[in-house]
Amino acid sequence: MVLALLTVLFGIVGAASKASAATSTGWLRLGNLSQNPTPVDMYVYPAGNSSPQIVQHGVAYGTVLSYAPISAGAYSVAIRTAGTAATSKPAMTVDVTVQSGRSYTVVPLRTNSQSGQLKVLDDSLTTPAGKSLVRVIQAAFDQKSMTFHCSCAPGAPGNIVTNAAPGSVSSYAPIPPGDWTMTAAGSSAKASLPVTLTANTVRTEVVVDGPSGVEIVNLTDAVGAGQPPVGGVTTGLGGTAPRGVPAPLPWLAVIGAGALLSLGAGVRLRRNGPRRGRGALPRMTTKV
């Protein structure tokens, strides 16, 4: 009965956990991929709120920061030239809706037609089983066209992106795990980078203009266990497991047996009591 009640209670707790298994937190990372010699200050405001929740000062071109956890909800991201007053009019703004359990990258990107635009990228947190996902951001404004190649195993895409214009973001391509060479070939510059991909990881390769041609920045979007174990774990032998409440019958039987024994003995004592009592108690004769 008590055990059943506990089981029900635990069941309810378990169900409640499951029902709200989705967290109310997502992730946001900021960066600057708009080619400009002056760094920027980046502000993240909760929607309708003029006081920022996150401020990152002096984010230079080619920099992408770590993810920060952020409550799910609506936000506005603004950038200003580094050192400008926080109250000044932002150079660019963009709205972001953060969903729980999702991750986003917010960066200014410069395209052929625009001097710069704040873009919200929806990052992937899932991979095809046993594979890696790789995405390419063409952030080298000096390269009007760029092809990004991976020396992947047969069957995987050789070119992750072909003839990409500045400011373009590819979709994620599935790549088998291994040690690969990533090559960015632009109109006037080329760069290569060895990249080790493990299964169930998500990457973004960013091509940026460097002091001498282009460079590849290898970003980690997410990492999972290369070989996820199957099922749960067996980590208990039961030494402290709750035992059910034992049936009361054996103890009731013991009490009953005791009662019978006492009763029988009591009756016998009572029946024989007076006679034996007489013989047992010596008459007291006292002499003073």
Q: CB of 61: closest distance to another protein in angstroms?
A: 12
- Name which of residues 168 to 207 contact another protein (CB under 8 A): 200-202
Number of residues that bind another protein (CB under 8 A): 99
Nearest to 183 by CA among 152, 144, 153: 152
* Structure token pair of residue 38: 């002056």
d(CA 32, CA 45): 18
CA-derived radius of gyration, the chain: 38
Q: According to CB under 8 A, which one of 87, 113, 212, 240 is a site residue for another protein? A: 240
Q: CB of 287: closest distance to another protein in angstroms?
A: 26
Q: CB of 43: closest distance to another protein in angstroms?
A: 9
- Name which of residues 37 to 66 contact another protein (CB under 8 A): 46, 51-60, 63-66
Q: Looking at beta carbons only, is 43 or 141 nearer to another protein?
A: 43
Q: According to CB under 8 A, which one of 69, 83, 128, 194 is a site residue for another protein? A: 69
Q: According to CB under 8 A, which one of 125, 142, 162, 165 is a site residue for another protein? A: 125
Of 113-121, 136-144, 155-163, 219-227, which part binds another protein (CB under 8 A)?
219-227
CA distances (Å), 229 to each of 11, 19, 193, in order?
25, 24, 31
Within 10 Å of residue 185's Cβ, how many Cβ atoms? 18
Distance of CA 200 to the CA centre of its chain: 14
Three-class DSSP category at 3: helix
Q: CB of 59: closest distance to another protein in angstroms?
A: 5
Q: Looking at beta carbons only, is 59 or 152 nearer to another protein?
A: 59
Assess contact for 111 and 167: CB atoms under 8 A: yes
Nearest to 59 by CA among 74, 28, 80, 90: 80
Of 107-115, 154-162, 166-174, 222-230, which part binds another protein (CB under 8 A)?
222-230
